[in-house]
Structure 1
């Protein structure tokens, strides 16, 4: 009977140690989750654009194929340039014809100006003659009373003076007519600016028949070929911007308190779990669509947060910019796993979010 209590006491120690170890492991796991949150609810993402022609026309050359990698400046496809070449040639021909018309008009204007100058010279001559006859009449009239001149002489001078005045009025009218007849080239010069604008527009349209890659990327969703009529602003295919790859990871709202832009991260794709990639948090989502009622806002990501009767914390997308991604491994929508390490960057973790 004296041995039994010692036996019971010796059996309690392993159970107590196991409980302590379990609590310690649980505390470590909770600390680890709290300080280094991770999730496998993640996927790869990249920016994309719809490649569209700026002009309509039939595709005469398709230089890429579906899922092909391209570099910035590479030819993607070409629209038939012949209609635009004809328009450009016609606009340039209009410019040549207009320049010739301007040159001819300038010669006509020069001749008209010479004529107007000649008429103005006649006006000056008539003015001098009229002044001279008026002065002659002024000197002759006082000589009539003493008998030095006859009344006939005075009448002759008066008639000459009136004729000179009439000639001056007629010359002035001719000068006004000649001046108003002088045309200009201002309207033609303004029309030339319009033609130059048309030429620039036609050249732009011709240049737009050749579509090149605006950045390094990968062609996807290509479902057409040579011979297809391409409409302006209608997508031909999609181009993935492979210069920057992201992993969008959905974290529980309870884990967001230590996550900041710049927080270091480690990610890997499910297609190759042996390759790890470094990255940093680019941004944190500030809105998702609630599935349990309330106001529904369009354009926000929808994340389910209720599982049957169990209510779980809402999850928000955290966008992680990947450093040196594998261009052959990353695909939009590929499953990923993300692990954040806020403790590796205390400044970023402690920085208040804007």
Structure 2
């Protein structure tokens, strides 16, 4: 009798456990579903740095020894401000030598010009003499031989005049060459002074007085502080909706609690082939008091706003390919998987359902344990 009671109790326990398991597996699930939200911002996130559109590392175009450095790190300098000078003594000597060369060429030209004038006068005299001798010879007053001699002397004088003209042209060319050389030496002397090419801020002072410099060696690093912007790198898969002129928010790593409004001013035309990112340039509308070049920033670009949307977390979507995926829906009180399209992705990784999806069709906002095709379900309160 006792054995029968124990067997009956065990059977009841088994039946009760089986009934509980059946109830857990088949009772309707309370499923959180996507609700409609209003005025949903769609933003794209990117990491980047503070850069300057106009930035230059400048130095002297000629070699020399640095004699003076007149500005320092952090100084703001208007265009044309003298920044540094090279020791000018050697170049000043070259200028003096070029000036002497010009004076010598001018004197040479004067001497040759005088010789030219003399040759011209002699040629004119000889032509006149030859003309008179021909007339006298035609009347028989003088001999034919004297007339021919005068003709020969006139031809010789004309040749001397031609030589004098050539010498004068050569002297003029020599003077022009000397003047060009003087201009070149004076230009080189002027290049011993380094000036600011634009209204700038000195970011770095790279050389000190006494340093021997090669042509083009950088002495200062300058930026135009009015051209600072944030260069953000945005994933290609998220960058398609970004347009110039869209509003943006910039957060500096050194000022995490502040948000600086900005606007997209340039979109790079070439993506990085390794990281598959696009370069987005954002100019701030209200800039930090002292931005630091190269500082890391976070950029959020608002690509649009949805007047109304049902948002599904990306974790609740299977096979999402950037435009569509499979979600769980409740149809006739049962769970079903359906392929749907999405029109946008928010910054918190939620996907906006296509308005073509019926508003009366509940879409699961979270995948719960026990989800399977045909399982009884109902929207959670």
TM-score, normalised to structure 2's length? 0.65
State the secondary structure of the residue aligned to 1:108: helix
Equivalent residue for 1:113, pick from 106, 117, 120: 120
Equivalent residue for 2:268, pick from 281, 284, 294: 284
Equivalent residue for 2:230, pick from 222, 232, 247: 247
* 1:167-203 alpha-carbon deviations (Å, 9 max, x no partner): 1111111111112122121111112221221122122
Distance 1:342 1:130, change over 3 A: same
For the pair 1:342 / 2:321, whether they are aligned, the reply is: no
* 1:72-93 alpha-carbon deviations (Å, 9 max, x no partner): 2222211112222222222222
Q: CA deviation at 1:221?
A: 4.2
Deviates more, 1:176-185 or 1:68-77: 68-77
State the secondary structure of the residue aligned to 1:112: helix
TM-score, normalised to structure 1's length? 0.69
Kept in 2, the 8 Å contact 1:73–1:212? The answer is: yes
> Equivalent residue for 2:190?
207
Q: Which runs of 5+ in 1 are unaligned?
A: 1-11, 134-159, 291-302, 304-313, 345-354
Deviating 4+ runs (over 4 angstroms): none
Equivalent residue for 1:172, pick from 127, 130, 151: 151
RMSD of the alignment, in Å?
Answer: 2.7
State the secondary structure of the residue aligned to 2:143: helix
Q: CA deviation at 1:45?
A: 1.2
> Equivalent residue for 1:104?
111
> Equivalent residue for 2:280?
318
Q: CA deviation at 1:67?
A: 4.2
Counterpart mapping for 1:325-336 below 5 A: 325-326=287-288, 328=290, 330-336=291-297
Q: CA deviation at 1:166?
A: 0.9
Q: CA deviation at 1:271?
A: 1.3
Q: CA deviation at 1:204?
A: 1.3
Counterpart mapping for 1:112-131 below 5 A: 112-131=119-138
* 1:204-236 alpha-carbon deviations (Å, 9 max, x no partner): 111111111112333344342111111112222
> Equivalent residue for 1:54?
61
Q: Distance in 2 between matches of 1:324 and 1:110?
A: 76
Higher strand share: 2
Q: Distance in 1 between matches of 2:89 and 2:286?
A: 44
Equivalent residue for 1:264, pick from 233, 237, 247: 247
State the secondary structure of the residue aligned to 2:56: strand
> Equivalent residue for 1:140?
none
* 1:68-126 alpha-carbon deviations (Å, 9 max, x no partner): 44332222211112222222222222222322222232222222222222211221121
Deviates more, 1:225-234 or 1:316-325: 316-325
Higher helix share: 1
Deviates more, 1:317-326 or 1:231-240: 317-326
> Equivalent residue for 1:309?
none
Aligned length: 273
Distance 1:260 1:208, change over 3 A: same
State the secondary structure of the residue aligned to 1:93: helix
